[in-house]
Amino acid sequence: MTKIWTEMNQNGDLLEVQVNIQDAPADFLGTSFHLNFHESKISRWDYKLGSVFGDEKPFVLVAEKDNALVTGMAFQSGNRNAIQDGNLITFSVQLEDGEDATLSFDYPVLSRYENGRQDVENVEWVGGTMDLEKIEGEKIVNEEVDEELTEENGKVFQANTLTYPPNGFESATVTDVYLFILGFGAFLCAMVGLGYLYYRYRKTVL
């Protein structure tokens, strides 16, 4: 029987959640689930694909909805080689409050490929609970930012300091959207400008 379960470790103000798999079907096609954090509100999150897939990587999509990380990963067709036992995906999550973290799998699906998609019914999905340690020293003092604690590389964070993963957070931020809009606007302006120059050229030549 295939088993999918979580393992949790706390690293400073980040909770590392490993989603592991054991005895996956040889013709593994993909899996999807909502990793529910229940009362522990998600502030920021990131993810890293696990090593069970080897060189052949699936398409992965992760989004936050209703305090859960909605996760899906799939190959275009059944994986030719059996995936290994081990880590499917690891999440790095910052939680706003809470003395413990309780996780569960909602809407879990595991599929294999045999003349099309076939959902596997005999799968054990196991969440977990972990007590969280309080992080001292990273607080707003008297409603003002303690710059000695929160200043790093010339930047002052307006809330508790955050230990960013090495590759940064993959969840979209306001800055990401803002930069995309600016870039797209610049692209449109450039296209309009080129069109106008071409129009002037044709008018002059013809």
Q: Given this model, what pLDDT does residue 191 score?
A: 59
138: Cα separation from own chain's centroid: 24
d(Cα 6, Cα 38) in Å, to the nearest integer? Answer: 15
Domain match, 36 and 88 both: yes
For residue 165, being part of any structural domain is answered with: no
**Is residue 124's pLDDT more than 50?**
yes
Say if residue 10 is in the same domain as residue 80: yes
Domain count across the chain: 2
Could you tell me if 22 and 6 are in contact, meaning their C-beta atoms sit under 8 angstroms apart? no
Q: What is the mean pLDDT of residues 85-90?
A: 96
Q: How many CA atoms lie within 13 A of 154 on its CB side?
A: 0
pLDDT of residue 47 exceeding 50, the answer is yes
Confidence of residue 96 (pLDDT cuts 50, 70, 90): confident
User: Would residue 136 count as lying in a domain?
Assistant: no
Domain span at 182: 172-206
Domain final residue pick, 72, 102, 131: 131
Pairwise CA distance, residues 74 & 55, whole Å? 14
Tell me: pLDDT of 176 over 70.
Answer: no
Start-to-end C-alpha separation, the chain: 76
Q: Is residue 38 one of the residues assigned to a domain? A: yes
Residue 5 in this model has a pLDDT that exceeds 50: yes
Specify the CATH number for the domain of residue 34: 2.60.40.680
Please tell me the predicted confidence (pLDDT) of residue 193.
58
Summary mean pLDDT of the chain:
75
> What is the pLDDT at residue 44?
92
